[in-house]
Amino acid sequence: MKKKKWQAYQEHGFYKGYECLGAHIRERNGKKGVEFALWAPHAKAVSLVGSFNYWNEHANPMIFEEDTGIWHCFFAGISAGESYKYKIFDHHGGSVYKADPYGYFCEKLPGTSSVVVDLSEYEWSNNHWMKQRKSKNIYQEPMNIYEIHLGSWRRNEDGSYLNYKDLVEQLIPYLKEMNYNFVELMPIMEHPFDGSWGYQTTGYFAVSSRYGTPSDMMYFIDCCHQNGIGVILDWVPGHFCRDEQGLLNFDGTPLYGKIDHPNWGTIKFDFGRPQVRNFLISNALFYFDKYRVDGIRVDGVTSILQLNFGMDQPIYRNQNGGYEDLEGIDFLKALNKAVFERYPFAVMAAEESTDWPLVTYPIDRGGLGFNFKWNMGWMNDTLKYIEHHTFERFHHHNLITFAMHYAFSENFILPLSHDEVVHGKKSLLDKIPGSYEEKFKTLKVLALYQISMPGKKLSFMGNEIAPFIEWRYYESLEWFLLEYPNHRNHQLFIKKLNAFYMKDQPLWYNEKSWDGFRWLDVNDADRSIYSYIRFSEDDETIVVFSFTNQMYNHRLGVPRPGKYRIALQTNSEDFGGEEKPLLGYITAQAIPSHGFDYSIPLDVSGLSGYLIKRKKSRK
C-alpha cells in the first residue's frame, strides 16, 4: 500500500502526501519507531541524521525507490520529540542538510531541524461546530474577519511571544467582545525571518514553534470554534524562500521551482510538475484535515496567474504566445476543486490584485473556482479618497461610487488589511488629513462605509484602536492608547458597529445582486454625501454618511411609510462625538424623494454617518 501511494505521488491528483511522506510513528515487525520518507529523485544518496543517531551521516543511509524517486528508512525505538534532518548528497560532489518538506514541526529558531510529532494525540471538542458549519449558507451569513499577526497583536511584558494557549485566554475573549466571528491568521507556517511576517515559508506543514506545539495550535482552533469563531489561514503557494534548509535546489536540482520572484527574492513553484502540485494541494487539505480550519486565504494569486509578475519587461511566454501562466491557472483550479469536493463549507479567498475575470466563478463556468476575492480595487480607491482633504473630496466623489459598478461581478471581501498600514503607507488614522478631531470622525465614517457596503468584511488588528503609527511586526500593538478618550471611544464605536452588523440581516443577506442594494443619491458630490439602502427579504437598512465637515439639511426617500429611528450614528456623544443620540422616531412624510413616495428629514452633521431602521409593526 505504501509503495502504491509513492507511485501515485508521481501523478497529478494525489493529495494525501502528508500521510505517506515525512516522519510517521509506526510499528514494523513488532517494533515501534518512526518511518521516514522523502522525495528527492536526483540525489546521489540521502542519509537520515538526528538526535537519535548523534547526527552521524553514515549511520542511517536511506533506501532509494528508483521508480518513485522516494528515499525511506525505519528507525526503531524512537518516538515524538526527536529532531532530524536529511543530509542530501548530489551528483556533483556537494551535500546539504535539509529539513523535512513534510515535517509536522520544527525546532525553535535559530534551530532549523524538523521534529517528530504525533498529530493524532489531540482530542477535539468542537463537534458541534463541525456539524453546524456544514449546513450554513456562507453567502447569506455575516462574515466579520479580524486579521492578525500572532507575533505582534500582544506580547508578554518581557517582549516574548504569547503562545497559542495565551491567545486562547486573551485573544478569543477579545474577538467575542468586539463582535468578530472570524479570525484570519497571517501565515503561521514555519518561517525563518520574522520580518517576512510568515510570507516566506520553509516548513509548509509545520505550524510555527514561536507560539507553541501543533497540539497547542489545535487547542486554539478548537477553542475558537467552541466560541463561535471561524479560523482562516493565510497560505503562500506562489513562492518559497531561499534558506538552505528549505526547498531551494532540494536534491541538487531546482526540484520545486526555478523561476525567480523578483519582487520578493524568492523562487516561484513549478506548478506543472505533478509532485510539486501534489505537495501544495496536499498542504492546503492538510490544514482542513488535521487542524480543522474553516478557510484559506491564498496569498499572491496574481503572481501565480502571470508568468512575468513583478518584471519591468516580460521575459516568458506560454505555449500560446501569451503571458498567462497556464500551469499556475490549472493549479488554482485543481486546488479549489480538491478543497470543495472534500470541504464544501470552506472559505477559499483569493488575494488577486487585478481585474482577472471570473475568480469566484465555478470552474465549469470558466472560473478559477474560489468562492471569495479580496476587493483590492475597493480598498485602493477608498483609501485614496480619504487621503484627500475634506474640501477636495467633491472632486473625487467617484472613488466611492465606482465600487458599485463591479460590486456583483465577484463574491467580494472588503479588506482594510495589513499591507495598507506598513512600509511608509501610514496607519489608517494618519492617512486622513485635517485636525485631530477630523481624523477620528473620518475614521468612524470609513468603518461605517465598509460595514454597510456589499461584501464580507476584514480589518487588520489595531484598526479598531486607531493607532497613529504604522504596524510594527516586532512589538505589541499600542494598547496603552485605550487610556486616551479618543482611542477608547473609537474602539467602543467599532464594537457597537460590529454588533449591529452581526445582527442586521440587510447588511449581509443579499450581496450578490442589485436586489440587496439601491442608491438613494449617487450624485451628491458637491456635499460629499452618500446615501443608499440595503435590503433583505422583509427588512431594510438606510445608510447615509458625509465625508465633508459641513452640516446639511437632508431628505431621504424611504420605501415604506412608518416610523424610522437612527440606530447608530458615528458622531454620537456615546462615542466622544458632538451629536446627542436621537432616541425618538421620525415619522415618514408623504413627500416624494429619491423615487419613493415617502421620505424623512435628517440633519447630516459634518463627517458623520447614520444607520437608520424602520420600526416594525407588531403582528
CB of 504 within 8 A of CB of 541?
yes
Q: Which tens digit of pLDDT belongs to each residue from 445-478?
A: 999 999 999 999 999 999 999 999 999 999 999 9
Q: Which tens digit of pLDDT belongs to each residue from 546-559?
A: 999 999 999 999 99
DSSP type of residue 148: E
Cα gap 481→486, rounded to integer Å: 9
Q: What is the CATH number of domain 2-115?
A: 2.60.40.10
DSSP class per residue in 304-342 = HHBTTTT-SS-----TTS-SB-HHHHHHHHHHHHHHHHH
Locate the domains of the chain by residue range.
2-115, 143-503, 514-614
Cα gap 602→546, rounded to integer Å: 12
Average pLDDT over residues 157-172: 96
Give the count of beta carbons closer than 10 Å to the beta carbon of residue 49.
21
Q: Does residue 497 carry a pLDDT above 80? A: yes
Looking at residue 618, its pLDDT comes to: 63
The domain made up of 514-614 is a member of CATH 3.10.450.50: no
Shortest CA distance to 25 belongs to which of 124, 108, 122, 121?
121
CB of 103 within 8 A of CB of 22?
yes
Helix H, strand E, coil C: the string for 450-487 is HHHCCCEEEEECCHHHCCCCCCCCCCCCCHHHHHCHHH
Cα gap 457→531, rounded to integer Å: 20
Cα gap 148→143, rounded to integer Å: 16
Beta strands in 153-253 (DSSP E): 182-185, 189-190, 203-207, 230-235, 239-240
Mean pLDDT (the chain, rounded): 95
Question: What one-letter code names the amino acid at 338?
Answer: A
Shortest CA distance to 88 belongs to which of 52, 44, 35, 41?
44
Instruction: Specify the DSSP element, H or E, that contains 545.
Output: strand 540-546
Share of the chain above pLDDT 90, in %: 93
Q: Which residues participate in catalysis according to the annotation? A: 299, 351
Q: Grade residue 99 by pLDDT with cuts at 50, 70 and 90.
A: very high
Q: Does residue 300 carry a pLDDT above 60? A: yes
Q: Which tens digit of pLDDT belongs to each residue from 245-294?
A: 999 999 999 999 988 887 788 999 999 999 999 999 999 999 999 999 99
Question: Can you list the alpha helix ranges (DSSP code H) found in 391-524?
Answer: 398-401, 428-431, 436-452, 485-503
The residue whose grid cell reads 524512537 is: 78
Share of the chain above pLDDT 70, in %: 99
Q: Which tens digit of pLDDT belongs to each residue from 560-618?
A: 999 999 999 999 999 999 998 877 899 999 999 999 999 999 999 999 999 999 998 76
Q: Does residue 1 carry a pLDDT above 70? A: no
List, in order, residues 6 or more apart from 27 with CB less than 8 Å away: 33
Residues pairing with 96 in the sheet = 88
CB of 544 within 8 A of CB of 552?
no
Q: Grade residue 619 by pLDDT with cuts at 50, 70 and 90.
A: low
Q: Which tens digit of pLDDT belongs to each residue from 188-216?
A: 999 999 999 999 999 999 999 999 999 99
Predicted structure pTM score: 0.96
DSSP SS3 for 34: strand
Residues pairing with 240 in the sheet = 267
Listed range (45-54, 177-186, 272-281, 573-582) with the worst mean pLDDT: 573-582
449-476: burial string, b at 16+ Cβ within 10 Å, e else: bbbbbbbbbbbbbbbbbbbeebbeeeeb
CB of 379 within 8 A of CB of 417?
yes
Our measurement of the distance from residue 609's CA atom to the centroid of its chain's CA atoms, rounded to an integer in Å, reads: 28
CB of 397 within 8 A of CB of 386?
no
Looking at residue 12, its pLDDT comes to: 87
State the architecture of 143-503 in CATH terms: Alpha-Beta Barrel (3.20)
Burial of 133 (0-12, 13-18, 19+ CB in 10 A): middle
Name the residue with higher pLDDT: 516 or 581: 516
Looking at residue 343, its pLDDT comes to: 97
Our measurement of the distance from residue 396's CA atom to the centroid of its chain's CA atoms, rounded to an integer in Å, reads: 30
Task: State the sign of the Cα–Cα–Cα–Cα dihedral 230, 133, 504, 544.
Answer: positive
Q: Does residue 56 carry a pLDDT above 80? A: yes
Average pLDDT over residues 372-401: 98
CB of 532 within 8 A of CB of 519?
yes
Burial of 378 (0-12, 13-18, 19+ CB in 10 A): buried
Angle at 312 between CA 310 and CA 317, to 5 degrees: 75
Tell me whether domains 2-115 and 143-503 share a fold.
no
C-alpha cell at 267: 523562487
Cα gap 349→232, rounded to integer Å: 9
Shortest CA distance to 533 belongs to which of 404, 416, 382, 393?
404
The CA-atom distances, in angstroms, between 467 and each of 186, 313, 478, 578 are: 20, 39, 7, 22
Looking at residue 278, its pLDDT comes to: 97
Average pLDDT over residues 36-63: 96
Cα gap 317→301, rounded to integer Å: 18
